[in-house]
Structure 1
Amino acid sequence: MDRLAALQAFAKVAETQSFSEAARRLRSSKSAVSRHVAALEAGLGARLFHRTTRSLTLTEAGRDYFARASRILADLEEADASVSQLQAAPRGRLRVNAPMSFGFLHLAPALGDFLARYPEVELDVTLSDRFVDLVDEGVDVAVRIGSLTDSSLVARRLASIRRVLCASPDYLKRRGVPQTPDDLKRHDCLSNTNINITREWRFIHPDDGTPWPVEVRGRMNANSGDMLRVAALHGHGFVHLPTFIVGDDLKAGTLISVLEPYIAQDLTLNAVYPTARHLSPKVRAFVDFLAERFGGDRPYWDATA
């Protein structure tokens, strides 16, 4: 008995409730389909269909077997499609979303290499710090930083994101170096209004990791990490930013990191995309490219920092 042919014949008869219609859809003969089903029943030692002159219905055993056989055939079809798509060249328009700062500083310089590698792909990139619904807005892939809560998305972790609290040497000379997070209450702190609904900065106790929230104040806030970086470079206060924004400044000594043991390092850089049974070649290629360029626990911007 050809087990695969018998499963396909059985499943098609169960779907159509007709040997004749199943044979037509399988481009086979009614007698061949009947032989496959009969051989399957004989091998299982169970009747799968109730047959009368007017109707054809599944038995209890047939219903259970149909549910399992359908999953097997679907998995086999998906495996075939997956291999076929791996062989296909990435092509078509790819819609990408990324945060503003990371997009300007790191994603934009990398995209030329991606386009050179895949000449049949066209990119449509949007940069935004607001939450983007990938399905509603037709986005194929998004680069996201932080914890992920949308279970309808597939996420691939790319890299760790390290945060620092830093200020210019001039500011530290004038105002002093904080020894604990509570000391920040006496300092100017520059907050990102995209992230901080209140002016509470969150730290941890270095001994046991328990939360240590601090209410901070400052004379300037902005919805851009890049703008806050410039303000800190000019001596206007402390910023709490990822190293992918301030890594070069830390290396050059134009910004100084403080209170490092008190900062929780729990953020990650992720590539996310909507769930799908078959991942398109262009999405697979782009996610693999991001992992190649940015992946690892110590990405290149931390090496400079």
Structure 2
Amino acid sequence: MDRLEAMAMLVSSVEEGSLSAAARKLGIPVATLTRNVNDLESIVGTKLLVRTTRKLLLTDTGADYVAAARHILEQVDEQERRAAGEFTEPRGELVVTTPVQVARLRVLPIVNQFLTQFPEIRIQLLQSDRNIDLVDSHADVAIRIGHLRDSSLVATRVGMLRVVLVASPQLLKKRGVPRSPEDLQGYPRVVFNSPFLSPWRFRHPNTNEVHTVTDTPRLLVSSPDAAADAAIDGVGATLLLEHDVAEAVRARKLRFILQEFEVDPIPVHLVHLSRDMMPVKLRRFIDFTVPKLREALAGFGRRPSR
């Protein structure tokens, strides 16, 4: 048995949730994977996995062993990449995670420029509005919106984004212009179901008191584009990041409202795991991307004067 190969099979089984799923991903027979996991358990002298009809469960020993196996496999992978030249030449694959709308509006154009300049680098762009764990997804770098909680990440702030309330001129003419957050009670709302925009919050400029809007929205959507389009059609007011509606506001399809009640702008960071030695491809990507992202996001974090 190849111990490293067996460790990789065990880790893949845990990540995929079953032996059969891991075997399909690795392109090997289930019997081969099962035999290798059993051999590891024989070496350790105890069960690592508890197999149920629906999923795999790690024993306490198994959880510790899988964590150690991941670390060993990462070290081996790093040494192999170093030998292949990733620490001396900008080459190989980078996995980048980013929120969907930020990817479309800001990140993808920068990635395209980067790939043109560095032809030996490949990029896998993972677009998701949830924070993808860098270790679990084997990602090299992420763009994160919101305040960071994981102190183990190396973070570089690249900008700020205002949280703005907008509505169409026709809706404001029909339903009136809200003058305070309290006026939104019963007002038609289109809500983008996002962790940093839901529920709606506003801050009173004189008292700093935070007001939360909790009544049921007229329309609940899962993308900022859908929320903006519905707002343009007059379905309701919507709360989004400024760069999501900047073009519609410039075209006078939407208007800012309650600007004096906006909460603080939300920070945007580029983050990566701390490493003793950083691959050249990652260093080049960070050096290339940070100034361009700062330029792309410039102006979106300026709050109106109160």
Q: Tell me which residue corresponds to 2:127.
A: 127
Q: CA deviation at 1:201?
A: 1.2
Task: Mark the CA change 1:110 to 1:296 in structure 2 (over 3 Å): closer, same or farther.
Answer: closer
Bigger shift: residues 135-144 or 279-288: 279-288
In structure 2, what residue type is equivalent to 1:295?
R
Question: Which residue is 2:106 aligned to?
Answer: 106
State the Cα distance separating 1:300 from its structure 2 match.
6.2
Partner of 1:237: 236
1:301 Cα offset (Å)? 6.0
Query: Tell me, which stretches of 5 or more residues in structure 1 are unaligned?
Result: 1-84
Residue type of the alignment partner of 2:201: R
User: Relative to structure 1, is the Cα distance of residues 119 and 301 closer, same or farther in structure 2, using a 3 angstrom cutoff?
Assistant: farther
- 1:214 to partner: Cα distance: 2.2
1:235 is displaced (CA, Å) by 0.7
> Helix, strand or coil for the counterpart of 1:291?
helix
> Deviation at 1:208?
3.9
Post-superposition offset of 1:99 = 0.5
State the shift of 1:111 in Å. Answer: 1.7
Alpha-carbon distance, 1:184 to partner: 0.5
CA distance change for structure 1 residues 167 and 202 in 2, over 3 Å: closer, same or farther? same
Q: Following the alignment from structure 1 to structure 2, what is the Cα–Cα distance between the partners of residues 240 and 161? A: 13
Aligned to 2:116: 116
Give the structure-1-normalised TM-score: 0.66
- Structure 1 pair 289/209, CA: closer, same or farther in 2 (3 Å)? farther
Aligned to 1:276: 275
Residues 9-53 of structure 1 deviation map (CA, whole Å, 9 limit, x = unaligned): xxxxxxxxxxxxxxxxxxxxxxxxxxxxxxxxxxxxxxxxxxxxx
Give 1:88 shift: 3.8
Contact 2:107 2:293 in 1 (8 A): no
Cα separation, partners in 2 of 1:196 and 1:141, compared to 1, 3 Å = closer
Mapped partners of 2:153, 2:93: distance in 1: 20
Q: CA deviation at 1:290?
A: 2.2
How many angstroms does 1:297 deviate by? Answer: 9.9
1:158–1:295 Cα contact (<8 Å) kept = yes
Whole-angstrom distance in 2 between the partners of 1:209 and 1:288: 38
User: Corresponding residue for 2:211?
Assistant: 212
Q: How far apart, in 1, do the equivalents of 2:114 and 2:224 lie?
A: 26
Kept in 1, the 8 Å contact 2:201–2:211? The answer is: yes
**Contact 2:87–2:279, Cα closer than 8 Å, also in 1:** no
Which residue does 2:223 correspond to in 1? 224
Distance, in Å, in 1 between the alignment partners of 2:199 and 2:121 is 43
Give the secondary structure class of the aligned counterpart of 2:185: helix
* 2:248 aligned counterpart, secondary structure: helix
Q: Deviations over 1:56-115 (max 9, x none)?
A: xxxxxxxxxxxxxxxxxxxxxxxxxxxxx9994421100011111111222122221111
Paired residues, what number? 219
SS in 2 for 1:276: coil
Give the drift of 1:196. 7.2
Change (3 A) 1:297 1:104: closer
Written as runs of structure 1 = structure 2, the 5 A alignment for 1:86-105 is 88-105=88-105
| Aligned alpha-carbon RMSD (Å) | 2.5
**Gaps spanning 5+ residues in structure 2: where?**
1-84
Cα shift readout 1:209-248 (whole Å, capped 9, x = no counterpart): 2322222332210111111111111111111111121111
Aligned to 2:158: 158
Cα distance in structure 1, aligned partners of 2:297 and 2:129? 24
Structure with the greater alpha carbon radius of gyration: 1
Letter in 1 for 2:125: V
Per the alignment, residue 251 of structure 1 pairs with 250
Matched residue, 2:261: 262
Alpha carbons of structure 1 residues 196 and 186: separation in structure 2 relative to 1, 3 Å: farther
Aligned counterpart, 2:175: 175
Q: Separation in 1 of the partners of 2:301 and 2:196?
A: 24
Distance in 2 between residues matched to 1:196 and 1:159, nearest whole Å: 16
Alignment of 1:27-38 (within 5 A): none
Q: For residues 103-139 of structure 1, give each alpha carbon's deviation from its aligned partner in whole angstroms, at most 9, with x where no partner exists.
A: 1222122221111111111111110112211011100
Alignment identity in percent? Answer: 33
Aligned mates of 2:298, 2:177 — CA distance in 1: 28
Residue number in structure 1 paired with 2:143? 143
Query: Secondary structure at the residue paired with 1:290?
Result: helix
The Cα offsets for residues 261-283 of structure 1, whole Å up to 9 and x where unpaired, read as 11112311110111112222222
Cα distance change of structure 1 residues 300 and 230 upon mapping to structure 2, 3 Å threshold: same
